[in-house]
Amino acid sequence: MSKEISTSIYSFKDLIENNCIYIDKTKYLYDIVTAAKGQFFCARPRRFGKSLTISTIEAIFRGQKELFKDCYIYKETNYNWEEYPIIHLDFGRANLTRIDLLSSWLVQTLNNIAESYGVRVQNEDPALLFGELIEGLYRKNSVGVVVLIDEYDKPIMEHLENEDEAEVFRTFMETFYQMIKGYEQYERFVFMTGVIKFAKLSIFSKLNSLTDISMDKKYACMFGYTADEIEMYFGEYIDELVKKRIYDENRILLDRKGILEALKRWYDGFRFFPREESVYNPVSIGSFFRSEGIFSNYWFETGTPKVLTKTMQLIHITLDDVRNPIISRDTFSVFDITEFAFSVEGIRDNISRKQIGKQKFMQLLYQTGYMTIGDVPEDGLSDSYYPMHFPNKEVRDSFQKSIVSLFVDEDLADFSATVDFIKRAAREGNSNDIRKYMENVFANIPYSIQIAEEKYYQSIMYTVFFLCGMDIDVEEATNIGRIDAVMEAGKHLYIFEFKFEKTVEEALEQIEKKEYVNKYLVNAEEKGQIIHKIGVEFSYNRDKRNIVEWKEA
């Protein structure tokens, strides 16, 4: 291959000098770096190339022209490559366990920058030192200062499990960041990134000079890879995989078109402005090609944000809660991550003192990359509300695994094996074994987190079936009713009706009375499928809290 693939190099200079693939985004960067005293903010989910973008901007403002000889900004523009003094702060490198350690890190980092430019500074307070350094660099170089801040929100995000600590860090960061506004007369350019879009976030209450491009149509594809970029930059790798002969998750041999379709299904789908093109997750794409064509959940392996997991646990989120959600456009401008900070008592008692509604939680899912903007009609009437959905298979599976982690006892080390047993039983048409393994799953859920609601038990069933990799439709509508679940597993099709504290006979009677089978008869006959009609009864009785009856008609 002419160029290598890296998923661990976040320095633009290192990427180019090591002959690694760089997907050229300098057309977008040229637009912002040439803005007069531009000050920008952009939020994107984790592992979306934010740090590399900051590094690329740094290389531009260091005048490192030769690194860009294959890029748009070098070949298609008359950029002047003037060099500017730079303050680059990456809060992903800071010690955030205590406020004093963060303060020490900032003081040391800012002093190191001052020393590298030969600027003398005296303040020991991080905020005052920041402002002093900005002014000192300007006076030393007689040119505006470039301020680049990566993971601006991490100090607060790391402490949302403790409301009091989160407030301490919020106040500290508010004081620090307001120096950007206070010293803007000495600044040439400012760019800040993070996971959470600040909007009305309280730490930015005094920083209204930043232009938020998080949901700007012009920059919708500035992070992530478009379909055209996948074919342009990874074409050689795709051709090699065709020669190698790779298969998708269903063991189907893929040609070039099939590989592209599978990549789209697994890793595409992130949309950051209504009706604009969607993009692929860059780390997932790089990991796929580095693993020589293995379709896997690379995004989940990078870790789920703690605030998401904790919120899901405290407000008892199920898959049913995130089916076809709609989010108000207005919520994008009022979202405040500090509302997700919980008291220590709330965590201990598994109760939130705050009421976090569905709209706020959907916003959190969007901000963290678990949900994205769906298809918005071009009628002009739909722009106040956006349909949301999981971007792709990888993210959907990640979310389902996050839900599983909330209710599966950590001692259930063989949960993956249980999923495989359920999958095998379903494909063999052995519904009794499906029941046996599902009872095992329910038996390993601590009673303290169980909920006396039908949708809770249903959601666990849905989630496990999804993780089995089987096709399942939830709340499937017919002409006279709504089926709880329909699952396809090879030559077998299962129609489920769930009942909570009601009899299994009532469930089977509903399947027959509403003629749920009729919708699938023709299709099942064409596929040679056997249809299984199954009634399931759940009970919250303290002696059970499990499946108490399972009957196939």
* pLDDT value at 272 more than 80: yes
Domain boundary among 243, 269, 296: 296
CATH code of the domain in which 469 resides: 3.40.1350.10
- 530 against 313, higher pLDDT: 530
Assess whether 420 and 522 both reside in one domain: yes
> Mean pLDDT, to the nearest integer, of 104-129?
97
At 473 the pLDDT is: 66
Assess whether 141 and 262 both reside in one domain: no
Pairing type for strands 187-194 and 39-43 reads parallel
Assess whether 439 and 534 both reside in one domain: yes
* pLDDT value at 531 more than 60: yes
Q: Which residues pair with 260 in a beta bridge?
A: none
Assess whether 423 and 527 both reside in one domain: yes
Assess whether 495 and 416 both reside in one domain: yes
> Mean pLDDT, to the nearest integer, of 229-239?
97
Q: At residue 113, what is the residue type?
A: I
Assess whether 425 and 506 both reside in one domain: yes
- Nearest one of 254, 318, 284 to 457, comparing CA atoms: 318
- Whether 538 is in a domain gets the answer yes
Integer Cα distance of 136 and 48 in angstroms = 34
Percent of the chain whose predicted confidence (pLDDT) is above 70: 85
Assess whether 25 and 143 both reside in one domain: yes
Domain boundary among 296, 325, 349: 296
- Whether 395 is in a domain gets the answer no
At 344 the pLDDT is: 43
Looking at the 3D structure of the chain, how many domains does it have? 3
Predicted TM-score of the model (pTM): 0.84
Whether 260 and 254 have beta carbons less than 8 Å apart is answered as no
At 467 the pLDDT is: 73
Residue 312 pLDDT grade (very low, low, confident, very high; cuts 50, 70, 90): confident
At 203 the pLDDT is: 62
521: CB partners within 8 A, 6+ apart: 531
- 470 against 254, higher pLDDT: 254
* pLDDT value at 339 more than 90: no
- Whether 398 is in a domain gets the answer no
Sign of CA dihedral 13, 14, 15, 17: positive
Whether 46 and 368 have beta carbons less than 8 Å apart is answered as yes
Question: Of 164-173, 238-247, 356-365, 374-383, which gets the smallest average pLDDT?
Answer: 374-383
Assess whether 188 and 277 both reside in one domain: no
66: CB partners within 8 A, 6+ apart: none
Assess whether 151 and 260 both reside in one domain: no
At 375 the pLDDT is: 84
Pairing type for strands 39-43 and 86-90 reads unpaired
- Nearest one of 227, 145, 160, 147 to 195, comparing CA atoms: 160
Assess whether 267 and 182 both reside in one domain: no
- Whether 434 is in a domain gets the answer yes
Give me 133's structure tokens.
């350094």
Map 333-377 to HEC letters.
HHCCHHHHCCCHHHHHCCCCCCCCCHHHHHHHHHHCCCCEECCCC
Distances (CA, A) of 181 to 39, 40, 127, 369, 476: 10, 12, 12, 29, 54
Distances (CA, A) of 282 to 8, 222, 242, 247, 359: 11, 12, 21, 21, 28
- Whether 279 is in a domain gets the answer yes
* pLDDT value at 355 more than 50: yes
Total residues belonging to the chain: 553
Integer Cα distance of 73 and 384 in angstroms = 36
* pLDDT value at 402 more than 60: yes
- Whether 148 is in a domain gets the answer yes
321: CB partners within 8 A, 6+ apart: 358, 361
Mean pLDDT (the chain) is 86
Whether 52 and 103 have beta carbons less than 8 Å apart is answered as no
- Whether 22 is in a domain gets the answer yes
Distances (CA, A) of 315 to 102, 303, 360, 447: 31, 21, 12, 16
At 303 the pLDDT is: 66
* pLDDT value at 351 more than 50: no
Residue 347 pLDDT grade (very low, low, confident, very high; cuts 50, 70, 90): very low
Residue 93 pLDDT grade (very low, low, confident, very high; cuts 50, 70, 90): very high
At 412 the pLDDT is: 43
Q: What is the dihedral of CA 337, 354, 351, 172, to 10 degrees?
A: 40
Assess whether 55 and 181 both reside in one domain: yes
Q: At residue 551, what is the residue type?
A: K
Whether 469 and 423 have beta carbons less than 8 Å apart is answered as yes
- 552 against 304, higher pLDDT: 552
Assess whether 183 and 239 both reside in one domain: no
Long-range CB pairs of 284-289 (<8 Å, 24+ gap) are 284/47, 284/394, 285/225, 285/230, 285/234, 286/5, 286/6, 286/7, 287/7, 288/263, 289/5, 289/234, 289/237, 289/241
- 138 against 359, higher pLDDT: 138
- Whether 219 is in a domain gets the answer no
- 82 against 207, higher pLDDT: 82
Domain carrying residue 78: 12-214
* pLDDT value at 413 more than 60: no
Domain boundary among 157, 191, 214: 214
Residue 462 pLDDT grade (very low, low, confident, very high; cuts 50, 70, 90): confident
> Mean pLDDT, to the nearest integer, of 269-280?
94
> Mean pLDDT, to the nearest integer, of 96-110?
97
CATH code of the domain in which 175 resides: 3.40.50
